[in-house]
Amino acid sequence: METTNIISSKNLKYRFLELLTIILFVFGGFQTYNANENNVTITNVVCQNPGSANPQISFYLSWNNSWRTTSIAPYNYDAIWVFVKTQYVPNTAVNCETTNPWTHAKMNATTANDTVGYPLQFSLPLPTDRMGIFIQRSVDGTGNIQPTRVSLFLDQALGTPTPGSFNFKVFAIEMVYIPTGAFTLGDGTSTNYLTKAINSATDQPGTNGALTLQDCWDVASIPAAYPNGYSSFYAMKYEISQQQYVEFLNTLTYAQQASRTAIAPNTTATVAGTYAMYSQAGSVAAQNRNSIKLIQSGIAATSTPAVYGCDLALAPGDPFNSTVDGKNIAMNYMKYDDLLAYLDWAALRPMTNFEFEKVCRGSGVAAVGQESAVGVAVNVTAPTAANSGALSNAGQSSEVSTSTANASGLFAYNSIAANGPLRVGFAATSSTTRVGAGAGYYGAMDMSGNVWEMVVGGWDPRQSGYKITVANNGDGTLDASGNANTTNWQNGTYTGVIDNQWYSLCTAVNYWHFEFRGGAYDQAASTLRVSDRSYNGGNVCGYYCSCADPGHNSASYGYGNTATQSRLANAGGRGVRSYP
């Protein structure tokens, strides 16, 4: 989950925004805001040296249900990924309000003066790209982390640009640490499973014969640099929530927002708002529980960005972003480019298909045929199915299913298409086991069910699905159109001959080499399987091919005969970060 606070380094006042953030002006008192009652909270953000180079930002960090277990399995811990965005404020700005873009701030190269209070510590070694910092428990233990003071120095020169000052937004995303270790790829039974014992950082499935696939295109070895899951990394504890996506949108430019939503940012926002991710009147109930709305229109002529919020509850008098507005529901209606853009902006990277299985199955654990993310086969006893039509505290941070887990778990699946995803981590309580909580081996939630996880992979290892390396973390910056622009990510067009089949007729191929994994709220129990790669009849790479033979123009995943991806009501995802 994620929370933000905003401060300005220049004004003595403060005000509360209608959206998901707080403006805390430096000398102007104290405010507390629990952006996600389901865990991580940042409060009392202050710039300690306004007007100076290398701003010192302090805040209090807390979250619930934290753990660190380094002496017993799974030998891991949870951690918070903290990063900061800054916005230049001209001296002529009124109340520090400006439409200038938000930019990603680097941590200062000299970290000796950064501090964090007990029982927390900075994860070491620190990220070499300085895009953010991980904060974790300093000793083994479990339970809630009470508000703990953190102080960070940013790498920002004085008076650049000049004259003026800066606003700051502090973001926090809950992660789980995935330690280095061998693991088994594939369960031997699921549809289109990959099979390999991953015993080193460069151990990859080889050519066609080493893979178990249907109509396999794999005619070349997967590069050794491809993140295969053996080496340590961090994974998001939860799927991206709708609140997280809103906060992402609210730091983008007008042009970037236009790419990351389905409705133009300058669409008139009525009193009831306008849904942003599909076309529907704001006064009508949300489709598939995606309640993100455009609540203040942008202005195309001046490139003024729009303002977005959540509005699941339409009762009279209920404001945007209220406690019942579904802010913690898993983000859906994401196309693959949306996911890549969010992860690049957050300085994370997409999860690979191999890492997905490591996060679910764990290191040194034998694969179980037909197993879900909790390690139990789904073909013997079907897990209990949760659905959005049977909830307690619907739309709240405490939203839970009225169904209870059986011996195979509790997952959001097998629902009617008109329903939607649930709150991220909905099945977990302070007393649930891994099976009851629907957790992967290392504590990542909802790896099976809720929304499809879009992960890097695909069929042809020579193409963009397998180009990413462990070094390719996001840089916090998008291109002018709002697209991810990190090296080796799947954001380009491959032109030329693919292989000696009919694809050689293609003159241009837009590749989205990824896989849908883990099932979704409206999918069958078989899709919950960790090793299942059956989506859309086994076509597990997305592509658009413009061919000399019109009969072979094609696009998988229902994208149609255009190069534009569709936003699916059951698709979302999460990210990871290479470590160290």
Q: What is the pLDDT of residues 370-396, one digit of tens each?
A: 999 999 999 999 999 999 999 999 999
pLDDT-based confidence at residue 413 (cuts at 50, 70, 90): very high
What is the C-alpha separation between 548 and 187, in angstroms, rounded? 40
Mean pLDDT computed over 102-129? 93
Q: Are 267 and 258 spatial neighbours (Cβ–Cβ below 8 Å)?
A: no
The reply to whether 364 and 463 lie within a common domain is yes
The reply to whether 300 and 226 lie within a common domain is no
Per-residue pLDDT at 297: 96
Return the higher-pLDDT residue of 319 and 216: 319
DSSP designation for 107: B
Alpha-carbon dihedral angle through residues 559, 483, 580, 40, given to the nearest 10 degrees: -90
- Residue 317, in any domain of the structure: no
What is the C-alpha separation between 562 and 541, in angstroms, rounded? 15
The first and second tokens of residue 495, run together, are 């032109």
β-strand partners of 153 = 56
Which residue from 407, 332, 399 is spatially nearest to 375, judged by alpha carbons? Answer: 407
The phi, psi pair for 48, rounded to 5°, reads -80, -15
The reply to whether 144 and 35 lie within a common domain is yes
- Of 280, 310, 340, which residue constitutes the final position of a domain? 310
- Residue 320, in any domain of the structure: no
The top-scoring range by mean pLDDT among 16-25, 27-36, 214-223, 404-413 is 404-413
Per-residue pLDDT at 192: 81
What is the C-alpha separation between 552 and 505, in angstroms, rounded? 9
Q: Is the pLDDT confidence value at 479 over 50?
A: yes
Q: Is the pLDDT confidence value at 499 over 50?
A: no
Q: How many domains does the chain have?
A: 3
Buried b / exposed e along 298-314 (16+ C-beta atoms within 10 A): beeeeebbbbbbbbbbe
Per-residue pLDDT at 553: 39
Which residue from 64, 40, 67 is spatially nearest to 150, judged by alpha carbons? Answer: 40
Residue percentage of the chain with pLDDT more than 90: 64
Q: Are 219 and 208 spatial neighbours (Cβ–Cβ below 8 Å)?
A: yes
pLDDT in tens, 355-376: 999 999 999 999 999 999 999 9
Q: Is the pLDDT confidence value at 464 over 80?
A: no
Q: Is the pLDDT confidence value at 438 over 80?
A: yes
Per-residue pLDDT at 303: 93
Q: Is the pLDDT confidence value at 531 over 70?
A: yes
Look-up: residue for tokens 């995943």? 557
Considering only 334-343, 392-401, 538-547, which range has the smallest mean pLDDT?
Answer: 538-547
- Of 282, 310, 338, which residue constitutes the final position of a domain? 310
The reply to whether 38 and 131 lie within a common domain is yes
pLDDT-based confidence at residue 18 (cuts at 50, 70, 90): very low
- Of 142, 174, 206, which residue constitutes the final position of a domain? 174
The reply to whether 128 and 265 lie within a common domain is no
Mean pLDDT computed over 321-332? 96
Q: Are 325 and 291 spatial neighbours (Cβ–Cβ below 8 Å)?
A: yes
**Domain housing 293:** 242-310
Q: Is the pLDDT confidence value at 193 over 80?
A: yes
The reply to whether 236 and 251 lie within a common domain is no
Q: Is the pLDDT confidence value at 503 over 70?
A: no
CA separation (Å) from 3 to 32, 368, 375, 433, 452?
Answer: 12, 37, 31, 27, 24
Q: Are 445 and 65 spatial neighbours (Cβ–Cβ below 8 Å)?
A: no
Per-residue pLDDT at 215: 34
- Residue 322, in any domain of the structure: no
Which residue from 22, 86, 23 is spatially nearest to 476, judged by alpha carbons? Answer: 86
Per-residue pLDDT at 484: 94
Q: Is the pLDDT confidence value at 504 over 60?
A: no
The reply to whether 260 and 362 lie within a common domain is no
Return the higher-pLDDT residue of 557 and 314: 314
- Residue 408, in any domain of the structure: yes
Mean pLDDT, rounded, of the chain? 83
DSSP designation for 212: -
What is the C-alpha separation between 514 and 529, in angstroms, rounded? 17
Mean pLDDT computed over 230-246? 97
The reply to whether 259 and 183 lie within a common domain is no
Which residue from 453, 447, 527, 451 is spatially nearest to 288, judged by alpha carbons? Answer: 451
Per-residue pLDDT at 172: 97
pLDDT-based confidence at residue 536 (cuts at 50, 70, 90): low
Mean pLDDT computed over 60-70? 94
- Residue 509, in any domain of the structure: yes
The reply to whether 363 and 293 lie within a common domain is no
Per-residue pLDDT at 7: 58
pLDDT-based confidence at residue 52 (cuts at 50, 70, 90): confident
Per-residue pLDDT at 9: 41
The top-scoring range by mean pLDDT among 187-201, 275-289, 523-537 is 275-289
CA separation (Å) from 17 to 59, 321, 347, 429?
Answer: 19, 11, 26, 31
Mean pLDDT computed over 65-76? 92
The reply to whether 332 and 384 lie within a common domain is yes
- Residue 373, in any domain of the structure: yes
Per-residue pLDDT at 491: 60
Look-up: residue for tokens 């409206």? 522
- Residue 82, in any domain of the structure: yes
- Residue 278, in any domain of the structure: yes
What is the C-alpha separation between 242 and 287, in angstroms, rounded? 13
Mean pLDDT computed over 158-171? 76
Mean pLDDT computed over 103-119? 92
Per-residue pLDDT at 12: 23
The first and second tokens of residue 457, run together, are 């992979």
Per-residue pLDDT at 316: 82
pLDDT-based confidence at residue 572 (cuts at 50, 70, 90): very high
Q: Is the pLDDT confidence value at 14 over 70?
A: no
Per-residue pLDDT at 163: 58
In this structure, the chain runs to a length of 580
The reply to whether 222 and 289 lie within a common domain is no
The top-scoring range by mean pLDDT among 183-197, 227-241, 309-323, 523-537 is 227-241
DSSP per-residue string spanning 371-411: B-TTS-BTTTSPPEEE-TTSEESTTSTT-EESS--BTTBEE
Q: Is the pLDDT confidence value at 223 over 50?
A: yes
The reply to whether 370 and 435 lie within a common domain is yes
Per-residue pLDDT at 62: 96
Q: Is the pLDDT confidence value at 541 over 70?
A: no
